[in-house]
Structure 1
Amino acid sequence: MRIIEGKNPVIEALRSEAEIDTILVSRDVTDGSLKRIIELAKQKNILVKNVDKATLDRLSENKRHQGVIAEAMEYEYKEIDYILNLAKEKGEKPFVIILDEITDVHNLGAIIRTAECMGAHGIIIPKRRAAQVNGVVAKSSAGAVEYLPIARVTNISNTIEELKQKGLWIYGAHMDGNNISDEKFDAPVGLVIGSEGFGIGRLVKEKCDTLVKIPMKGKVNSLNASCAASIIIYEIMKQRGF
């Protein structure tokens, strides 16, 4: 069972195709702010239970449930071909974000949110040594995780080779790269974002076709992984004309 908590994540889960079993609503919330959630749940014939705050606190993964938790089926990871076919169905060149051992669930959620808002087709994460989709990720993504397909793979380096064979040009975010404004992102794109502490791994870096960086002017010469991802994702989609 997967926990989805917070008003916006639960609303987006109800609007999407997520399989929700039960909605738990706090008896202590009396301002009517959960009325929309209850209405959506009833429209989908989903059971709504009134519970005390202590029950929600016990189930909550980030202690920010805002008086509501949805109990849903485990997150369904997609295959890479599903993501690429989604781009094809939209008549768009694929744009996939590849995360090389992002370990912070808040960073993962933030990247998912940006990717979905900007129109990327999907995200690829490794099965091991990396953050996985959970309630905190859903909350950090503001519900975007319910709309953006995510694939989970055993080996990122092998996956990059597979994507190359399928026609994608792989860009890696790295301080030694070319300025992103000097690149033309008009081909099918795979964008690699490295881990918070170490960046892109050596083997993964060698697999990239091109390295790109964000030019910076201040005294601090690095950005948080999700911030860097957001800037590059925006640049790519800006060039594509949204």
Structure 2
Amino acid sequence: MAGNDKRRGAMRKPGSKKGMVVGSGGQRRRGLRGKGPTPKAEERVSHPAKRRADAKAQAEQQRARRKAQQESAPELVAGRNPVVECIRAGVPASGLYVAQGIDVDDRVTEAVGEARARGISVLEVPRVELDRLTGGAVHQGLALQVPQYEYRHPDDVLQEARDSGLPPLIVALDGVTDPRNLGAVVRSAAAFGAHGVILPQRRSAGLTAVAWRTSAGTAAKLPIARAANLTRTLRDLKSAGLMVVGLDADADITSDELELATEPLVVVVGSEGRGLSRLVRETCDQTVSIPMMGGVESLNASVAAGIVLSEVARRRRLT
């Protein structure tokens, strides 16, 4: 019989299906190994789901790179008055762009002269190029290149307020996403004696060129901090002895009744649409509204902040 014959020519060839052979399941059963569970569609080579996942990951990487480039890129403050105010305030600028053929007035002369005196490069460029650099903003022939703003820590703002020798006055913004409103609030805060401004890291405008322009350079005179968690930061300020007052339409009192104005104070300004968030409102010691004539529902966030800060400054002057 071929299977038992010892002769060379009578031996069964490997792979023959007659009888039991190694790997058939009849012998060495443990040698059979499964391939494991079926991989997910996103992990299979050439599968449409994998191609979609790869494209999504690549798009996210590109967005992250663009965001990093934007965050590291310098800002351009456009407009004659904002440029002059920034130079006067000592904003650490690196370049002044002047459009060719510009109509020279006192502001242009001052900006160019002060820039050269401070060692800031003065670059004359075509107006079309300045339009491109400023993204079509109304630059009036002048633009100032400033670095990304370096935010402070909320503890630094509190320390500077205490070092002033006056009752601390800090402004906190809860979800203000319009950079023009941010710039206007910063300007009002500086005008009425606030010691600093605190912004949340998320869902808030940052100090971009638009905010620089609206603040007219006052952002260089006032420390601005970012808080990882605004509610927790407000609680820390309360623990440090400050009272927290929030601007709210359905408030406890009006600004005419704000007796806490002379105390160490944090004024919280809500977002343009929904106002104060629930947790921030619950953290406030008191909420305050602005008395208005009938028919007007609310005011712009920066206007409301300016009115309340003006009332706080007035009451502090009288003490």
TM-score bucket (shorter structure) = over 0.9
User: Percent of aligned pairs with the same residue?
Assistant: 38
Q: In the alignment, what sits opposite 1:191?
A: 267
Cα displacement (A) at 1:229: 0.9
Q: In the alignment, what sits opposite 2:295?
A: 219
**Mapped partners of 1:61, 1:222: distance in 2:** 32
**Mapped partners of 1:84, 1:196: distance in 2:** 26
**Mapped partners of 1:54, 1:12: distance in 2:** 24
Cα displacement (A) at 1:176: 2.1
**Given that residues 86 and 216 in structure 2 are in contact (C-alpha distance below 8 angstroms), is that contact kept between their aligned partners in structure 1?**
no
Q: In the alignment, what sits opposite 2:159?
A: 85
Q: Does 1:139 align with 2:228?
A: no
Match among 13, 21, 27 for residue 100 of structure 2? 27
Unmatched segments (≥5 aa) in structure 1: none
| Cα displacement string for residues 70-104 of structure 1 (whole angstroms, at most 9, x for unaligned residues) | 11221111122222222223211111111000011
Q: In the alignment, what sits opposite 1:2?
A: 75
**Given that residues 89 and 217 in structure 2 are in contact (C-alpha distance below 8 angstroms), is that contact kept between their aligned partners in structure 1?**
no
| Cα displacement string for residues 23-65 of structure 1 (whole angstroms, at most 9, x for unaligned residues) | 1111121323411001101111111010111111111156111
Q: TM-score, normalised by structure 2?
A: 0.73
**Mapped partners of 2:86, 2:118: distance in 1:** 12
Match among 294, 306, 318 for residue 230 of structure 1? 306
| Cα displacement string for residues 168-224 of structure 1 (whole angstroms, at most 9, x for unaligned residues) | 100011122211211211111001111011000001100001111111222112111
Match among 76, 89, 92 for residue 16 of structure 1? 89
RMSD: 1.5
Return closer, same or farther for 1:46/1:209 CA change in 2, 3 Å cut-off. Answer: same
Alignment of 1:88-107 (within 5 A): 88-107=162-181
Q: Does 1:53 align with 2:124?
A: no
Higher helix fraction (1 or 2): 2
Return closer, same or farther for 1:61/1:151 CA change in 2, 3 Å cut-off. Answer: farther
Q: In the alignment, what sits opposite 2:243?
A: 169
Unmatched segments (≥5 aa) in structure 2: 1-73
**Given that residues 22 and 47 in structure 1 are in contact (C-alpha distance below 8 angstroms), is that contact kept between their aligned partners in structure 2?**
yes
**Given that residues 172 and 191 in structure 1 are in contact (C-alpha distance below 8 angstroms), is that contact kept between their aligned partners in structure 2?**
yes
**Mapped partners of 1:102, 1:87: distance in 2:** 23
**Mapped partners of 1:186, 1:101: distance in 2:** 26
**Given that residues 7 and 66 in structure 1 are in contact (C-alpha distance below 8 angstroms), is that contact kept between their aligned partners in structure 2?**
yes
Match among 32, 35, 42 for residue 116 of structure 2? 42
Aligned residues: 242
Q: Which structure has the greater CA radius of gyration?
A: 2
**Mapped partners of 1:144, 1:94: distance in 2:** 19
**Mapped partners of 1:93, 1:80: distance in 2:** 16
SS in 2 for 1:240: helix
Q: TM-score, normalised by structure 1?
A: 0.95
Match among 247, 257, 260 for residue 182 of structure 1? 257
